[in-house]
Structures are given as C-alpha cells and as structure tokens.
Amino acid sequence: MNTFSIIEKERFIALARHVEVEMIGDLADALIDGGIRILEITFDPGSPDTLRQTAKAIETAATKGILIGAGTVFTEEAVNAAYSAGAQFIVSPNTDERVINRTKALGMLSIPGAYTPNEIVNAWKLGADIVKIFPVLPHQLDYVKVLTSPLSHIDFMITGGVNPENIADFLATGAIAVAAGATLVKPDLVKSRNWHEITILARKHLEAIEKRSDR
C-alpha cells in the first residue's frame, strides 16, 4: 500500500518529540509491540543541530519496519534531510508552499497544518494530500464538526488534544486519522526507559479506535 492508504487504514500516528537518538530505536520497538504502525518524528526548531539529529533518529526508526514521517517541518532543507533519512511523509504546523512543493517533488505525502476554513482550503489548493487541523484542544470537538462539515471534500487529520477518551469522537467528525504524542510518548516514561508502559498506552489508544470501528 502507498503512504496515504496506510494512514487511512491505521488511522493513528504516534508522535515522538524531543526523544534522544539513542532511545528512538527502543521507543519504536515499544510502539510496534503496542500495535502502532506509523511514527512521526519531529524536528526541533530550537536546536541548531536538529537537522542532523532528527535525520539520524528517522534513519534509525525507519529500519524497524514501520511507516516513518517527519514533523515540525518548516524548510525545504528539513524536507531534504527527512527524505534522505527515509521519511515517507512530511508534517508541518503551518502551510508553506515551498515545503509542500519540495515534499511532492520528492514523492512524499504532504500534510501541512491549518486551523481556519481559509487556511485549510488554501493548503488543499497548494497540493496538500491531507490537511492537519492544528492545534485542536480536547474540548474542541464541536469546532471541528462545524469547521469540516462544508469541507468534506478535503482529507484531514487532527492533532493537539487527542487522547484515548476522545479518539472515537474525533474520528467520527470524518478525520482520516488522528495523531498523539503527549498522552503516549510521555517524557518521564522515555527518560526512565519505561518502554513497557508506553506499549500499554499504545494499546489503549488503538483500542479506542477499534471501539469506534465496531460502532
């Protein structure tokens, strides 16, 4: 299957932020054990070494046999680094035409971020394969429903306030997928190398999606 089809099938993307390179392999294994099949590893714009470090993390995770993407991508340089490391999709918190064009030119899936109707339509017109509605807080389900109702022709995903308690409701809005990091790849669990607990959390997130599918 192609990248879009995998995301459409799995419906969940795990987010890894500020995870040290030497831990990314163990984290990927823990997520895989929990059933996760898609992982987004984010760049850190505040770090001058983020291109090298994040690319190395992507390269390591890509050897684990799951779909890997790069997040928090603001520049064409970051797109190039992610592609060279093995990323298959590019996610941004904003919409940048140059980033979208470079992503598409390299044959990767483009997922820019947007929040308002104008922003979402603009991202779609610029070539987005999926638009990431961001940021979405846990209580903003009604906003997403109202926002996306007239935009049903645009594939979108939700990132920001996703947790096991609201996954089913957010998917019910028509989202092709949801993404979560804070409720799954918790910094304290990573720091203590508590991979078993991360595996348990992964299963909890996916169980919420399965319940939605059973409705």
What are the tens digits of pLDDT across the range 56-104? 999 999 999 999 999 999 999 999 999 999 999 999 999 999 999 999 9
Cα Rg of the chain, angstroms: 16
pLDDT of 213 above 60: no
Mean pLDDT estimate for the chain: 96
pLDDT of 16 above 80: yes
Sign of CA dihedral 180, 181, 183, 189: positive
What are the tens digits of pLDDT across the range 134-181? 999 989 999 999 999 999 999 999 999 899 999 999 999 999 999 999
Q: How far apart are CA 72 and CA 93, in angstroms?
A: 6
Question: Which band of pLDDT confidence, cut at 50, 70 and 90, is reported for residue 214?
Answer: very low
pLDDT of 211 above 90: no
What are the tens digits of pLDDT across the range 24-44? 999 999 999 999 999 999 999
Confidence at residue 215, expressed as pLDDT on a 0 to 100 scale? 45
Question: Which band of pLDDT confidence, cut at 50, 70 and 90, is reported for residue 210?
Answer: confident
State pTM to two decimals: 0.96
Burial 69-84 (b: 16+ CB within 10 A, else e): bbbbbebbebbebbbe
Neighbouring residues of 131: CB distance < 8 A, sequence distance ≥ 6 = 111, 112, 113, 114, 120, 123, 124, 154, 155, 156, 157
Q: What are the strands of the beta sheet with 177-180, ordered from one edge?
A: 109-111, 89-91, 67-71, 38-42, 12-16, 177-180, 156-160, 131-136, 113-114
User: Residue 131: how many CA atoms within 13 Å on its side-chain side?
Assistant: 27
Single out the residue of 93, 146, 155, 90 nearest to residue 121, CA to CA.
155
Residue ranges covered by each domain of the chain: 3-212
CATH 2.40.400.10 fits 3-212, yes or no: no
pLDDT of 54 above 70: yes
pLDDT of 205 above 90: yes
